[in-house]
């Protein structure tokens, strides 16, 4: 039977490309999203992949949502923590709400989604947790104290949990994309975007499919010896 993959924030951008790559690799795929019903409907119509609505920032909603997914598609073998938001502001203007929203979605959301699937993976002796962190969690970014802190936290979470999952057949890895051409980056003013591209050695934004291929590899049996890793895919913009 095909393994089941659940991708948070799977209906748009990088998440959508991840869903398609995993479907193409033969997995049963389910997507989660937060609120954009129109995008989710269009996604399901186009791809044939079901989309389930709940916020990863809400632990109880995650437990209930994962329950619905598992009832329909079987236990989650591969969890891709991809959902993420930005609420950018220079620190002197950053509000507690901007801080909280980003931490609750981008960091606590990873706990909220991973915790309910963890014991099942341990019992079955197989699992893949793949979290989409960011270049800005590695290097920090002006006006992103909230986002950089959350994404750096995702890397620490990954390294800690990898040690706990290793003997149980569960690998836990993070991917740090550089700037990828999605709604999130297209929302940045064009002038700023052009300045960003000048700092990328390959001279362009990345494509969502380039991150999706990294996920498909880390999900595969071939990647069983890779755990606790941070896979950087940023066009050479930041070398770690």
- Residues forming the site for ligand NDP (CB under 6 A): 8-9, 11-15, 32-36, 39, 55-57, 82-85, 105, 132, 134, 177, 179-180, 182-185
- CA distance linking residue 25 with residue 22, whole number of Å: 5
What pairing do the DSSP bridges indicate for beta strands 4-7 and 28-33? parallel
Task: For the chain, give percent helix, strand, coil, nearest 5.
Answer: 55, 15, 30
CB of 11 to ligand NDP, least distance (A): 4
* 52 has catalytic annotation: no
> Is the CB of 11 or the CB of 126 nearer to ligand NDP?
11
Comparing CA positions, the residue from 115, 214, 211 lying closest to residue 165 is: 115
> Is the CB of 9 or the CB of 116 nearer to ligand NDP?
9
Residue 98 backbone class (left: φ over 0; alpha: ψ -120 to 50; beta: rest): alpha
CB of 168 to ligand NDP, least distance (A): 26
The active-site residue, picked from 27, 147, 179, 238, is: 147
> Is the CB of 103 or the CB of 126 nearer to ligand NDP?
103
> Is the CB of 57 or the CB of 162 nearer to ligand NDP?
57
Tell me if 64 sits within 8 A of 88, measured CB to CB.
Answer: no
CB of 201 to ligand NDP, least distance (A): 16
Tell me if 27 sits within 8 A of 2, measured CB to CB.
Answer: yes
> Is the CB of 55 or the CB of 227 nearer to ligand NDP?
55
- CA distance linking residue 210 with residue 93, whole number of Å: 34
Tell me if 170 sits within 8 A of 130, measured CB to CB.
Answer: no
- CA distance linking residue 2 with residue 159, whole number of Å: 28
- CA distance linking residue 127 with residue 69, whole number of Å: 16
Q: DSSP secondary structure string, 189-204?
A: -HHHHHHHHHT-TTSS
Residues with a catalytic annotation lie at: 147
């Amino acid at each position: 039977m095909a393994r089941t993959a659940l991708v948070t924030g799977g209906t748009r951008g990088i998440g959508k490309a991840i869903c398609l790559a995993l479907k193409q690799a033969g997995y049963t795929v389910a997507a989660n999203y937060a609120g954009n019903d129109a995008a989710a409907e269009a996604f399901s119509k186009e791809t044939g992949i079901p989309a389930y609505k709940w916020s990863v920032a809400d632990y109880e909603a995650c437990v209930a949502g994962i329950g619905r997914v598992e009832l329909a598609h079987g236990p989650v073998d591969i969890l891709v923590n991809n959902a993420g938001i930005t609420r950018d502001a220079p620190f002197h203007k950053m509000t507690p709400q901007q801080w909280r929203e980003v931490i609750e979605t981008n960091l606590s959301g990873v706990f909220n989604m991973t915790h309910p699937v963890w014991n099942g993976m341990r019992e079955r002796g197989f699992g893949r947790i793949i979290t989409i962190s960011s270049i800005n969690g590695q290097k920090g970014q002006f006006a992103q104290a909230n986002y950089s802190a959350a994404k750096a936290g995702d890397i620490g979470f990954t390294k800690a949990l990898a040690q706990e999952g290793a003997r149980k057949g569960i690998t836990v890895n993070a991917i740090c994309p550089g700037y990828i051409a999605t709604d999130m980056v297209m929302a940045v003013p064009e002038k700023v975007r052009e300045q960003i591209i000048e700092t990328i050695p390959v001279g362009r934004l990345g494509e969502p499919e380039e991150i999706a291929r990294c996920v498909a590899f880390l999900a595969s049996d071939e990647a069983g010896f890779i755990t606790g890793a941070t896979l950087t895919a940023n066009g050479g913009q930041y070398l770690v």
